[in-house]
Amino acid sequence: MTKFLNNIKESKLILKNFIKWFLLAFLSGVLVGIAISIFLKSLQLATYIREDNTWIIFFLPFGGAFVSYLYYKYGNDSLKGNNLIIQRINEGEGYIPFRMASLVFFGTFITHLFGGSAGREGTGVQIGASISAKLGKILKLNSEDRTIIIISGVSSGFGVVFGTPIAGTIFGLEVSTVGRMRYEAIIPCLMASYIGNNISSLFKVQHTHYHMEEVVANNPIIFYKVIFCAILFGFISKIFSEVTHYLKEYLTQKIPKPYIKSFIGGIIIVILILIINDRSYLGLSLDLLRNSFTKTVIKYSFIIKLILTSITLSTGFQGGEVTPLFVIGATFGNLLSLIVNLPISFLAALGMIGVFCGGTKTPIASFVMALELFGGYNIRYIFLVCAISYVFSGKSSIYTSQENNI
The boundaries of the domain holding residue 316 are: 220-404
Render pLDDT for 333-361 as a digit per residue (tens, 0 to 9). 999 999 999 999 999 999 999 999 999 99
Tell me the average pLDDT across 6-22.
83
Does residue 376 form part of some domain? yes
Q: Range with the lowest mean pLDDT among 215-219, 293-297, 344-348?
A: 215-219
pTM of the model: 0.95
The residue-averaged pLDDT of 363-383 equals 95
Both 190 and 241 in one domain: the answer is no
> Are 145 and 266 members of one domain?
no
Ranges assigned E (strand) in 128-253:
177-178
On whether residue 196 sits in a domain, the answer given is yes
190, 225: one domain: no
Mean pLDDT over 258-271 rounds to: 96
Q: What is the sign, positive or negative, of the torsion defined by CA atoms of 126, 128, 132, 135?
A: positive
> Is 210 a domain residue?
no
Task: Tell me the pLDDT tens digit for each residue of 190-215.
Answer: 999 999 999 999 999 988 888 999 99
Please provide residue 381's backbone torsions phi and psi, each rounded to the nearest 5 degrees: -70, -35
Does 195 share its domain with 231?
no
pLDDT at 80 (0 to 100): 84
Number of domains, the chain = 2
Q: CA distances (Å), 31 to each of 123, 161, 170, 175, 334, in order?
A: 15, 14, 20, 22, 38
Give the pLDDT of residue 332. Answer: 98
Closest of 42, 168, 199, 34 to residue 105, by C-alpha? 42
**Mean pLDDT for the chain overall:** 93
3-state secondary structure of 141: coil
**Helix (H), strand (E) at residue 335:** helix 322-340
What would the pLDDT profile of 229-263 be if each residue is shown by its tens digit? 999 999 999 999 999 999 999 999 999 999 999 99
Tell me: pLDDT of 217 over 80: no
Q: Give yes or no: residues 97 and 148 share one domain.
A: yes
| Higher pLDDT pick, 156 / 90 | 156
Q: Is residue 165 part of a domain?
A: yes
- Residues 234 and 197 grouped into a single domain: no
**Given this model, what pLDDT does residue 320 score?**
86
Extract the runs of DSSP E, i.e. beta strands, from 42-191: 177-178
The answer as to whether 20 is a domain residue is yes
Residues 192 and 94 in one domain: yes
**Predicted pLDDT of residue 13:** 84
Average pLDDT of the residues in 357-376: 95
> Is residue 215 assigned to a domain?
no
**Segment 263-292 mean pLDDT:** 95
Q: What is the pLDDT of residue 76?
A: 81
Q: Same domain for 182 and 250?
A: no
Question: Looking at residue 377, which CATH number applies to its domain?
Answer: 1.10.3080.10
